[in-house]
Structure formats: structure tokens, C-alpha cells
Amino acid sequence: MNTKSYINSSLIAPCGMNCGICMAYLREKKKCPGCNGSNEDKSVSVVKCRIKKCEIIKNNQSGFCFECEKYPCSRLKQLDKRYKTKYSMSMIENLGNIKNFGLKKFITEERIRWACSECGGIICVHRGYCYQCGKRKK
């Protein structure tokens, strides 16, 4: 497993979350396919996600929250605050990078940012360590 094969455009959620670094996506059992994947193995909270189900997102060109006239909405701000506090990652910052530099550049940067320096595996945003070798993120 390496960041190049696991982080791709289909894993970037409308809210800016990189599902490729999520513990639900990285785990072995009942692996989540990511927010843009089928609902079959997703947790109830992901299936019912109000951001993902937002009609404005479904109807906009890019499929990202930044195209909404209410951006950033209160739901996104709340999610962003939780992730910044608990995991040192900002979805609003991610969305800004996607909007300003493009999805391809964002994914390239994410592959570098979340790559394990020891083995090249993926550092989990929620756990803070590499799922392949166990090394902690600095």
C-alpha cells in the first residue's frame, strides 16, 4: 500500500475530506469505500451525511462545497472546527486548495503530506500513524 495508489480524485469528498486517509477507509474489516463510493459498507453517519446529501452540491459543476452560495455553511464550519482541533486538518483549507490550485495538484500534495517517511504507506488522519508499519506522524 502506498499513497499514490490510495489517494485519488474519487476519494476527495464534497466537503474537502480526503477519504484515503480516513480510518474507515484504511481499516481491513468493513472497509468504507469513501464518501463518493457506494453506500454498501459505509457507516450510518456517512450515509446520512447532510453535507454529502446537499442538493446544491449534487447539482454544481465540481461537486465541492466551495461552489455553494452558502459556503462555508454552518455544518461545514462545525466539521472543520472539529477536524482542526482533533486532527490538525482543515477541510475548508483543503477546499481552498482545490479551488485555487486544482484537484490534481491537491492530490499530489496530499500524497506527500500523508505519506509515511518510513515505508511510504498512508498516515491515518484519525489515528496519527501509518497503517502499514505503525510509525507515528511527526
Dist. CA 49–CA 44, nearest whole Å:
8
Residue 82, amino acid? R
Those residues whose C-beta lies under 8 Å from the C-beta of residue 65, and which sit 6 or more positions away, are: 14, 15, 16, 51, 54, 57, 71, 72, 73, 76, 95
Q: What is the pLDDT of residue 94?
A: 98
Q: What is the pLDDT of residue 56?
A: 63
Query: Domain extents for the chain?
Result: 3-113
- pTM (two decimals): 0.87
Q: What is the pLDDT of residue 29?
A: 86
Count of CA atoms in the C-beta half-sphere (13 A) of 59: 5
Q: What is the pLDDT of residue 34?
A: 85
Q: What is the pLDDT of residue 59?
A: 65
Tens digit of pLDDT at every position of the chain (138 positions): 544 456 888 899 999 999 999 998 998 888 888 887 776 766 676 666 777 767 666 666 678 999 888 899 999 999 999 999 999 999 999 999 999 999 999 999 999 999 999 999 999 999 999 988 998 876
